[in-house]
């Protein structure tokens, strides 16, 4: 176990995994715990939150599983109050919830577009509204939002709503960082590139003829030669949440194997 977050309390929204294996939120919650933080693991699916919390408990950490809907302010407020009551304070807010709907404005239904707004940018507003008052009372805290490389680059996938809402996450993060800097609250976001998580097999694989083709194409698109893993995102989150990053705020950090630097398109 590490010490970089010893004594800190983290609340992770989207702490479960969308399938077997390690999603970004699940890995982040466990990584926070491995560095000494107590973690409130929040997910819409109760069993997913409990699985992550169980991993932390079995490794000797401290965790609380909470089921909550990030599209519902009252549900988020309840989750935040449960975490604060359990642990006494909230030092790290981690937002990992997101959804992709393929299609441009012609193909997307209005319901899909609205859902992207509600699930990709809406939780940043709702969780910040609930958590920031706790951080202000205690004199500071850290917010880590998970965005996407699609916020700043065309990645080859036709997901207009996802790209637009993740760009909104970037600027929302900057706005939070600047508004609350003097109150001791730092806010940064991570822009994952091509990451091998359970999510891509559910929401991305339909763009390819086969799973093997998807994996091969995504690996080939990364300058380092292979997709990243959820642990690459989790390790970046731990750094940004730790005092090692105490002079870093308002940053949108690509974790993408160099893809944001490349000119060539992968598809």
Q: What angle do CA 123, 92, 132 make, to 5 degrees?
A: 60
Per DSSP, the three-state class of 69 is: coil
Q: Measured between alpha carbons, how far is 183 from 196 in angstroms, rounded to an integer?
A: 37
Q: Are 181 and 139 in contact (CB under 8 A)?
A: no
- Is 162 an active-site residue? yes
User: Of 159, 162, 201, 208, which is the active-site residue?
Assistant: 162
CB burial of residue 123 (10 Å; 0-12, 13-18, 19+): buried
Catalogue the E-assigned strands of the chain: 9-13, 38-43, 63-67, 92-95, 141-146, 185-192, 252-255
Known catalytic residues are 162
């Amino acid at each position: 176990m590490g010490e970089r977050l010893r004594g800190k309390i983290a609340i992770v929204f989207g702490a479960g995994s969308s399938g077997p294996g390690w999603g970004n939120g699940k890995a982040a919650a466990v990584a926070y715990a491995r560095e000494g933080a107590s973690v409130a693991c929040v997910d819409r699916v109760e069993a997913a939150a409990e699985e992550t919390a169980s991993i932390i408990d079995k490794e000797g950490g401290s965790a609380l599983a909470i089921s909550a809907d990030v599209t519902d302010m009252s549900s988020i407020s309840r989750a935040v109050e449960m975490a604060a009551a359990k642990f006494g304070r909230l030092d790290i807010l981690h937002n990992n919830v997101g959804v992709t709907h393929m299609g441009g404005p012609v193909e997307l239904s209005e319901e899909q577009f609205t859902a992207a707004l509600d699930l990709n940018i809406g939780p940043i507003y709702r969780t910040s509204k609930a958590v920031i008052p706790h951080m202000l009372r205690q004199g500071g805290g850290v917010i880590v939002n998970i965005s996407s490389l699609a916020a700043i680059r065309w990645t080859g996938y036709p997901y207009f709503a996802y790209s637009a809402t993740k760009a909104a996450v970037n600027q929302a993060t900057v706005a939070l960082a600047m508004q609350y800097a003097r109150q001791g609250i730092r806010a940064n976001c991570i822009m994952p590139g091509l990451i091998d998580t359970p999510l891509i097999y559910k929401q991305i694989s339909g763009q390819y003829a086969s799973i093997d083709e998807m994996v091969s194409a995504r690996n080939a698109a990364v300058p380092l030669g292979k997709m990243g893993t959820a642990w690459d995102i989790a390790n970046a989150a731990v750094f940004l949440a730790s005092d090692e990053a105490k002079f870093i705020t308002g940053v949108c950090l690509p974790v993408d194997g160099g893809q944001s630097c490349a000119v060539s398109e992968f598809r």
